Amino acid sequence: MDTSSTKAMSFSDVINGDTPVLVDFFADWCAPCKMMAPILQDLKSAMGDRLTVIKVDTDRNPQVAAKYQIRGVPTLILFHKGDVLWQQAGVVPLHQLKSIIESKL
C-alpha cells in the first residue's frame, strides 16, 4: 500500500501532509491484522488519491506505537495535517470504515 513517495518521507512528514492518512498499526503475528489487509486495499482503491494508507509494524516501530498509545492491534488512526481525526482498535468493515473517513473529511 505504501507508494514510493511515502517510503522516502518520514512518518511525521506523511501524517502532517495535506492528504488525509489512515495509519494501520499492526503486527505480523496478529490474525485480525491480516483480516484488515484486503479491507485496506479495497478502501485505497475506492478512495484513490483522496487518502493515503500506510501500515506501521508496532514490533518494528515501538517508539511510534508508544507515542500514539497503541495498546492493541490492529489500531487504525486517521490523520489530517498532523491532527488525529479518528482512532479505533479492531477490525473495521469496509463500508463502515469508508463512511467514517468520509464523515471526518
Q: Indicate which residue of 1, 9, 27, 30 is catalytic.
A: 30
The pTM score is 0.91
For every one of its 105 residues, what pLDDT tens digit does the chain have, with 9 covering 90 and above?
444 445 567 899 999 999 999 999 999 999 999 999 999 999 999 999 999 999 999 999 999 999 999 999 999 999 999 999 999 999 999 999 999 999 998
Count CB atoms within 10 A of the CB of residue 30: 16
Of 103, 79, 105, the closest CA to residue 6 belongs to 79
The sign of the CA dihedral 38, 32, 105, 82 is negative
Please say if 30 is a catalytic residue. Answer: yes
Of 87, 79, 77, the closest CA to residue 105 belongs to 79
Q: Which domains does the chain have, with CATH numbers?
A: 16-104 (3.40.30.10)
DSSP string, 29-46: T-HHHHHHHHHHHHHHHH
Q: Indicate which residue of 15, 23, 33, 53 is catalytic.
A: 33
